[in-house]
């Protein structure tokens, strides 16, 4: 079945440093979504990418969808303590078949 | 709107006991699902439903049953709890199956411990 891997599993950064997490699917995706989960909380939708090579920005967050629609990345510029949490990608490979990545846990050191 | 509501938030079970995790959504979403979250494993799909009366298995369905008698409710039943089912469970819903890329809305989670 479809597998979605994320790297790294954990990342510690000093506040102000940049952060990137990568998502790779074993199959071509129709779209990819990104979610953020704060410690003790539930996943919350951030963004959806649909087109090959698409790039979207949300303030300090930049999301990319690969040309082959099998990989994606999330880049945070100048991290802040409010960015702490686990970031998940979720790929839809077929009819409502959404597979979540393993997540990247971000810790920001003040 | 309340969104996706899960109960209970915390539960301790003894091995072999059964219980039901309740999930309700008030957004008239056709698609509902249950995930479990374990450290380092991400979110794994247990069961899902694309509408009332229709359910299907996800990635890790063993030991769990679901039913979907109404659009609003999607309870998850643990038939005979095992320590391996200790986890955080999330119910989720999404609008209109068949439209690619619908946002998934999650409940706040249910922390289950099986001793």
Residue of B43, B106, B108 for testing the chain A interface, max A β-carbons within 10 Å? B43
Decide if pLDDT at B25 tops 80.
yes
pLDDT for B59: 87
**Residue B41 Ramachandran class (φ > 0 left, ψ -120 to 50 alpha, else beta):** alpha
For residues B20 and B77, is the Cβ–Cβ distance under 8 A? yes
pLDDT for B2: 77
Decide if pLDDT at B100 tops 90.
no
Indicate if the alpha-carbon torsion angle B49, B9, B43, B64 is positive or negative.
negative
Average confidence (pLDDT) over A8-22:
97
State percent of chain A over pLDDT 90.
80
Nearest residue in chain A measured CA to CA from B50? A96
pLDDT for B103: 82
Q: Name the nearest CA neighbour of B26 among B75, B90, B72.
A: B72
Q: Write out the CATH class of domain A27-89.
A: mainly beta
Decide if pLDDT at B95 tops 70.
yes
pLDDT band at A92 (very low <50, low <70, confident <90, very high): confident
Rounded to whole angstroms, the Cα distance separating B104 from A51 reads: 19
- Chain A contact for B31 (CB, 8 A cutoff): yes
pLDDT for B41: 78
User: Which sequence spans correspond to the domains of chain A?
Assistant: 27-89
Rounded to whole angstroms, the Cα distance separating A88 from A93 reads: 16
Residue of A96, A99, A100, A101 for testing the chain B interface, max B β-carbons within 10 Å? A96
């Amino acid at each position: 079945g479809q597998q979605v891997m994320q790297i790294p599993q954990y990342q510690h950064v000093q506040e102000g440093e940049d952060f990137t997490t990568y998502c790779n699917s074993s199959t071509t995706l129709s779209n990819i979504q990104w979610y953020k989960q704060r410690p003790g909380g539930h996943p919350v939708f951030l963004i959806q990418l649909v087109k090959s090579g698409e790039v979207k920005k949300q303030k300090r967050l930049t999301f990319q969808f690969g040309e082959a629609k099998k990989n994606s990345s999330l880049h945070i510029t100048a991290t802040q303590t409010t960015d702490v949490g686990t970031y998940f990608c979720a790929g839809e490979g077929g009819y409502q078949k959404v597979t979540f990545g393993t997540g990247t846990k971000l810790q920001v050191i003040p | 709107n309340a969104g996706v509501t899960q109960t209970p938030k915390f539960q301790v079970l003894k091995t072999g006991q059964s219980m039901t995790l309740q999930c309700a959504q008030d957004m008239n979403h056709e698609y509902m699902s249950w995930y479990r979250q374990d450290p380092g494993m991400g979110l794994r799909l247990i069961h899902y439903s694309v509408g009332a009366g229709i359910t299907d298995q996800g990635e890790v369905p063993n030991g769990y049953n679901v039913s979907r008698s109404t659009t609003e409710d999607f309870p998850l039943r643990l038939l005979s709890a095992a320590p391996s089912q200790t986890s955080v469970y999330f119910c989720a819903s999404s609008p209109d199956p068949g439209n690619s890329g619908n946002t998934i809305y999650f409940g706040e989670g249910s922390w289950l411990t099986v001793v």
